[in-house]
Amino acid sequence: MLVILLAIAIWILGWVFGVATRQRWVSIGVLWLAVVVENLLLPAGHPLRQMTGGDARVWLVLAAAALLGFGYALIVRALKARAVVVEPAAKPAFSDSEVNRYARHILLQEIGGPGQKRLKEARVLVVGAGGLGSPALLYLAAAGVGTIGVIDDDLVDASNLQRQIIHTDQGIGQPKVESARAAMLALNPYITVQTHQARLVEAGAADLVAGYDLVLDGSDNFDTRYLINRICAAAGKPLISAAITQWEGQLSLYDPAHGAPCYECVFPVRPAPGMVPTCAEAGVAAPLPGVIGAMMAMEAVKQITGAGQTLAGRLMIHDALYAETRVIGIKRRADCPVCGGH
């Protein structure tokens, strides 16, 4: 006890007076050595020897144990210094069920895993949940577009069901955006659907478009088409716009921010009232919006993944009655009030 108390006193006094740790250990080592020498040289039964254990072997065993502990500490410290810190594995982009779901996309050389990841990270707004919006929305959901927005102020009507395949008879009377949302999530629960039950108008249109990377216009009136074209051109967002009537449809990707014309470059003058009747006025073949709407989704997938050649700078015209499709080149107009000179 006397030696232990002396060792503690040496350590505390050294700490108080700012003596280095190594010097304090040296002082304690000198004390230990003095005790060992004392027990070796003094005769058995000597009072000082009795006060310090009476046998040098006790202190030698204690020193051996201390050296073993110190050596173990040094080994542990060296191993820690050499250890490589392994960062936790990054969370995979897709779950196993998603990989299985999108396997046919991932197998395509032009899409693959990176392209599917871009689809998952994409934010696409679809204007209109009607004839063109229905197939476009379903295929965007099926393809794995991560966030899909849909804006429409209409309710599901029985007359819609001849061609608007995203809605059902049970959904008659419901807002189209909610009916579409339910159908998309039923098809693919791994996506996010944002609904906007409103008519697209000037107020708030820019803020809405700003939240998305790509816009698909499936509206059925020229006011909306010209409005969304202006908003997308100003925001530098690509716009996939289509139109149908009776047996014919047309489609293009308008992207003046990347050299392609905008919608108003190609159609600078609105048709006179009555010259282009709506589907309600002139009728439409049931599969036609499905054909053109699916092509809109296809253009969206290509635009997002970078696969193939899009319809930027080209206008596709489809005549379903005679099964004819042609593509013509379109150019920007320098005097276009929307994108000319920008």
CB neighbours of residue 95 within 10 Å: 11
93/215: higher pLDDT: 215
pLDDT at 16 over 70: no
CB atoms inside a 10 Å sphere around CB 117: 18
- pLDDT for position 59: 62
Judged by DSSP in three states, 99 sits in helix
Please report the pLDDT score of residue 312 as a whole number: 97
Query: Please, are residues 36 and 56 in contact by the beta-carbon 8 Å criterion?
Result: yes
- Residue 271: pLDDT band (50, 70, 90) is confident
Specify the domain boundaries for CATH 3.40.50.720 within the chain: 107-329
DSSP secondary structure string for all residues of 236-296: T--EEEEEEEBTEEEEEEE-GGGT---HHHH--SPPPTTTS--HHHH-B-THHHHHHHHHH
pTM of this structure: 0.74
**Residue 248 — very low, low, confident or very high, per pLDDT cuts 50/70/90?**
very high
pLDDT digits (tens, 9 = 90+) for 67-103: 777 777 778 777 777 766 666 667 788 899 999 999 9
For the beta carbon of residue 282, count every other beta carbon within 10 angstroms: 10
Q: Is the pLDDT score of 11 beyond 60?
A: no
Band of the pLDDT at 233, cuts 50, 70, 90?
very high
Q: Which of the residue ranges 99-113, 262-276, 328-342 has the most confident prediction, judged by mean pLDDT? A: 99-113
Top pLDDT among 164 and 46 is at 164
DSSP secondary-structure letter at 168? -
Q: What is the pLDDT of residue 281?
A: 74
pLDDT at 54: 65
107-329: CATH topology: Rossmann fold (3.40.50)
